[in-house]
Structure 1
Amino acid sequence: MKLNLYQIDAFTNHLFGGNPAAVIPLDQWISESLMQRLAMENNLSETVFFVPATKPDADYEIRWFTPLAEINLCGHATLASAYVLFHVMGYGYPAIRFQSKSGILTVTKNFDRISMDFPAWKPEPLAEWPAELATALGNITITSVHKYRDYLVEVADESMVQLCQPDFTLMKKLGQKVILTAKGNKADFVSRFFAPTVGVDEDPVTGSAHSQLIPYWAEKLGKKSLFARQLSKRGGDIWCEYLGERVTMAGQCVFFMKGEIDL
Structure 2
Amino acid sequence: MRCIRHGPNRIGRDYVVGDVHGQYAQLMEALERVDFDVARDRLFCVGDLVDRGEASLACLALALEPWCFAVMGNHEQMAITALAEGGGMAWDLWQRNGGNWVFLDGVEEARSTMNAACPHLPLAREIVAGQRRLGVVHADPPDDWGQIEQTPAEHLLWSRRRFRRDSGGSLDSTRVEGVDAVVVGHTIVEAPLWLGNVLHLDTGACAGGRLTLAAVDDILDAIPCTTWPAVPVDGRRVVAASSSCHRPWNRRRTLWSVGRFSHRCAPSGPGEEKKFSMKGELFW
From the two aligned structures, give the one with the greater helix fraction. Answer: 2
- Of structures 1 and 2, the one with the larger relative CO (CA 8 A, separation 6+) is 1
Q: Which has the higher strand share?
A: 1
TM-score (norm 2): 0.24
TM-score, normalised relative to structure 1: 0.25
